[in-house]
Amino acid sequence: MENLIEILDKRFASAFAACGYDEKLGKVTLSNRPDLCEFQCNGSMAGAKLYKKAPIVIANEVLEKLDKSEIFTSVQAVPPGFINIIVSDQFVSDYLSKMQADANLGLETAKVPQTIIVDYGGPNVAKPLHIGHLRSAIIGESLKRTARKMGHKVYGDIHLGDWGYQMGLIITEVKERQPNLPYFDENFTGEYPADAPFTISELEEIYPTASNKAKADETYREAALHATYLLQNGNPGYTALWKQIMAVSVADLKKNYGNLNVTFDLWMGESDAQKYIPDMVEKLKKDGFAKEDDGALVVDVTEPEDKKEVPPCIILKSDGAALYSTTDLATIVQREADFHPDAMTYLADKRQDMHFLQVFRTAKKTGLIPETCQLSFLGFGTMNGKDGKPFKTRDGGVMRLESLITEIEEEVYQKIMENRETDEKEAKDTAKIVGLAALKYGDLSNQAAKDYVFDIERFISFEGNTGPYILYTMVRIKSILKKYQETGGTLSSGQIAITDNASGKALMLEVAKYNEVVETTFAERAPHKLCAFVYDVANAFNKFYHETKILGEEDEVKKESYLALLQLTLKVLEECIDLLGFEAPERM
């Protein structure tokens, strides 16, 4: 469905054209003077230079030719040449009625659906999930949902860090502790007990222990390197043990991501890319892209317009070992073979931007992926504590994701119990839903690339630009609708026809932006824009609510109309928070 601005654009484009001016000048924007008008068209200002005429003259000519039927309450040319627009109540009401009648609320899905892979999460196996992985999961999940909403075929891939030296370290430490496990038997046949020889908590303690030992003890480090080598060369016992590490770790990851309402379509990882490496390296060499440099194999990825230095992409180290970039390139090969994606979006800490620049350039330049595939990296900033330094626990450690979630839930729970009497079970369930919204909204409402301050008190506040405030607004709408039903009313999708109600109109104009905002959020991969919209809608609704008698309205037609607007507002908010990755409770 065309959005409101597009409808206005058309009228103005025709008017400019009818005066003999470029129709592109007929662009309408939201007003930056809401006290004067709702929309404005500033084309006469740009036209003045092109046509060497006073802008106000152009504006008046355009207004002469403008088709003013039905949709305007007023259109005025004001010096020096702006056109101020106020649309009619009828126009906005009709627009919302169309939205309401459309199953997709006026959002047009892609005519040609693309295949899109979102690479996010990126946890490392057997290391605890910490808040560094939180942003990736939260932002990626929202991008995945938005792309899917737009009608694309989307695969969310967790891209596990499940290969390399870290696995060698874990195997070495397990061997130290339980040398008699069958995996370390030279004649191991590949049969292994169903029960893993460690729990997830043990596993999470094993990695840092091993890593510290390797730093202090050269023999240990060599053993770990050797274990890595054996694993990478298919040693049956080590492979079986690795599979058990994976099973225990993945089960735990699924639980943790599940608590975050984050789900992946593909549980692939660095290990899955390994088998593509040899052929890929051969091809890069054969085609003359990969060259020896100081013993290493590298691809030059500089471009003439580069302003900063772009070091070559290292394919193999001088000892022949593959690196992070090798694995990412091989993953691209695998994805191209399996999915022929039209686009791939990667989420990782913004400090990895050079890595992705090198990888993307290499993939395109060497033809591992077609030129038409859109590769993009969305680098996110750091989550800081109130002191402006990376967020830590009270005792200065790295906060585990699980503890972070529990802490938020606990705070929200206290708040709910303070506010009213609720049975404990309901309060706990609500705290889960609200806590997750607080966490996700607190993150997503910031532009991804920016660092932000993790401020629990602010995030869980029921007032201000927060997740709980949005939910509170939705719960308020739900409760009005429920009350209406309880007093014998039936909710029908009555016509939205609201007149002479300023805050009602303001709410309608906000709600009407839904399709345009979702499109922009997708195109710019910018969930913070969706948050800003949701906040505007919530504010507009609350103003309307405070200024209007809704259930108390005596005119039945008006009342029906208000209730229809409430239902549409709620639907829009529900769609949006679903795209952000959280939901609203029934009460709070």
Choose the binding region for ligand ARG from 59-67, 116-124, 208-216, 490-498 (rule: CB under 6 A): 116-124
Those residues whose C-beta lies under 8 Å from the C-beta of residue 41, and which sit 6 or more positions away, are: 8, 12, 26, 27, 28, 29, 62, 82, 83, 85
Q: CB of residue 269 vs ligand ARG: minimum separation in angstroms?
A: 9
Residue from the set 134, 241, 348, 540 that interacts with ligand ARG by CB under 6 A: 348
CA–CA distance, 66 with 195 (Å, rounded to integer): 77
Q: Which is nearer to ligand ARG, 332 or 437 (CB)?
A: 332
Q: Which of 161/168 has CB closer to ligand ARG?
A: 161
Identify residues 194-253 at the interface with ligand ARG (CB under 6 A).
none
- Strand 28-30 and strand 39-41: the pairing is antiparallel
Toward ligand ARG, which CB reaches closer, 159 or 221?
159
Q: Measured from the CB of residue 294, what is the shortest distance to ligand ARG in angstroms? A: 25
Q: Residue 410: enclosing H or E segment and its boundaries?
A: helix 401-419
468 is a site residue for ligand ARG (CB under 6 A): no
With H, G, I as helix, E, B as strand and everything else as coil, classify residue 316.
strand
Residue-level length of the chain:
588
What b/e readout covers 111-137, taking b as 16+ CB neighbours within 10 angstroms? eeebbbbbbbbbbbbbbbbbbbbbbbb
CB nearer to ligand ARG: give 229 or 324.
324
CA nearest neighbour of 190 among 247, 242, 245, 226: 242
Smallest distance from ligand ARG to CB 163, Å: 10
Which amino acid is residue 154, in one-letter code? V
**Cα(279)–Cα(265) distance, integer angstroms:** 27
Does 141 interact with ligand ARG (rule: CB under 6 A)? no
Taking phi first (over 0 means left), then psi (-120 to 50 degrees means alpha), and beta for anything else, what does residue 388 get? left
Choice from 130, 145, 159, 335 touching ligand ARG (CB under 6 A): 159
Q: Decide whether 257 or 535 has the Cβ nearer to ligand ARG.
A: 257
- Does the protein bind ligand ARG through residue 122 (CB under 6 A)? yes
DSSP 495: -
Q: Taking CB under 6 A as the rule, does residue 124 contact ligand ARG?
A: yes
**In the complex, least distance from residue 13 CB atom to ligand ARG, rounded to whole angstroms:** 44
How far CA 53 is from CA of 58, 61, 95, 224, 468, in Å, comes to 7, 11, 36, 78, 53
Region near ligand ARG per CB under 6 A, out of 51-59, 119-127, 475-483, 487-495: 119-127
With CB atoms as reference, the residue minimizing the distance to ligand ARG is 122
Answer whether 359's CB lies under 8 Å from 135's CB: no
Q: Rounded CA gap, 570 and 537, in Å? A: 10
Closest approach of ligand ARG to the CB of residue 121, in Å:
8
Closer residue to ligand ARG (CB): 38 or 157:
157
Q: Which residues contact 50 (CB under 8 A, 6 or more apart)?
A: 21, 22
Interface with ligand ARG (CB under 6 A), residue from 72, 198, 346, 462: 346
Q: How far is the CB of 312 from ligand ARG (least distance, A)?
A: 18
DSSP state letters, 145-194: HHHHHTT-EEEEE--BB-SSHHHHHHHHHHHHH-TTSGGGSTT--S---S
> By C-beta, is 58 or 329 nearer to ligand ARG?
329
Nearer to ligand ARG, 220 or 356 (CB): 356
> Within 164-193, which residues bind ligand ARG (CB under 6 A)?
none
When the beta carbons of 160 and 474 are compared against ligand ARG, the nearer one is 160
Q: Work out whether 161 is an interface residue with ligand ARG (CB under 6 A).
A: yes
Q: Which stretch binds ligand ARG (CB under 6 A): 90-98, 117-125, 219-227, 392-400?
A: 117-125
Minimal distance, residue 323 CB to ligand ARG, in Å: 11
Closer by beta carbon to ligand ARG, 132 or else 527: 132
Collect all residues with Cβ–Cβ distance below 8 Å to 584 and sequence separation of at least 6: 433, 437, 470, 471, 474, 475, 478, 573, 574, 577
Is 504 near ligand ARG (CB under 6 A)?
Answer: no
Nearest approach in angstroms of CB 221 to ligand ARG is 21
- How many residues belong to the site for ligand ARG (CB under 6 A)? 8
Cβ proximity to ligand ARG, 245 vs 348, nearer residue: 348
Q: Going along 238-295, which residue ranges are E strands?
A: 290-293
Stretch binding ligand ARG (CB under 6 A), from 52-60, 118-126, 249-257, 570-578: 118-126
Structure tokens at 319: 């000892």
Question: Between residues 328 and 575, which has the closer beta carbon with respect to ligand ARG?
Answer: 328
Q: Closest separation between CB of residue 543 and ligand ARG, Å?
A: 43
Whether the CB-CB separation of 471 and 432 falls below 8 Å is answered with: no
Q: How far apart are CA 398 and CA 472, in angstroms?
A: 32
**Of residues 413, 469, 419, 414, the one with CA closest to residue 441:** 469
Is residue 368 a contact point for ligand ARG (CB under 6 A)?
Answer: no
Can residue 328 be called a binding residue for ligand ARG (CB under 6 A)?
yes
Q: Considering the rule CB under 6 A, would residue 119 count as an interface residue with ligand ARG? A: yes
Give the separation between CA 388 and CA 25, rounded to whole angstroms: 45
Contacting residues toward ligand ARG, per CB under 6 A: 119, 122, 124, 159, 161, 328, 346, 348
